[in-house]
Amino acid sequence: MCQYCQGTSFIDNDLLIEFDDSEELVDTVKVYVTSEAKLFLHNDYGAVAVPINYCPMCGRKLEREGNE
Ligand SMILES: [Zn+2]
């Protein structure tokens, strides 16, 4: 377990990465690991959660609550 995957909410976890591919406006995407075994990406316009099985930083198998 590491500082990127330890929190019960993504807000408790350190920011994994942020990037901004837009040339015309500030549109920074921030990426976190959530406690629900998802990669959570968000910016000012929306958010998307992608299921993952392992923490990309420490390799810990992430627990998924509820049914698989
Ligand atoms: Zn981790």
Look at residues 3, 32, 5 and name the one whose alpha carbon lies nearest to residue 17. 32
Mean pLDDT over the full length of the chain: 90
Enumerate the β-bridge partners of residue 30. Answer: 18, 42
pLDDT band at 66 (very low <50, low <70, confident <90, very high): low
Instruction: Write the CA distances from 37 to 9, 12, 31, 57, 63, integer angstroms.
Output: 11, 14, 13, 13, 6
Domain regions of the chain by residue span: 1-62
**pLDDT average, residue stretch 10-22:** 92
* pLDDT-above-70 percentage for the chain: 94
For residue 50, how far is its CA from the centre of ligand 1 (angstroms)? 16
**pLDDT average, residue stretch 11-36:** 92
Name residues with Cβ closer than 5 Å to ligand 1, which is an ion. Answer: 2, 4-5, 55, 57-58, 60
Q: Residue 22 pLDDT > 80, yes or no?
A: yes
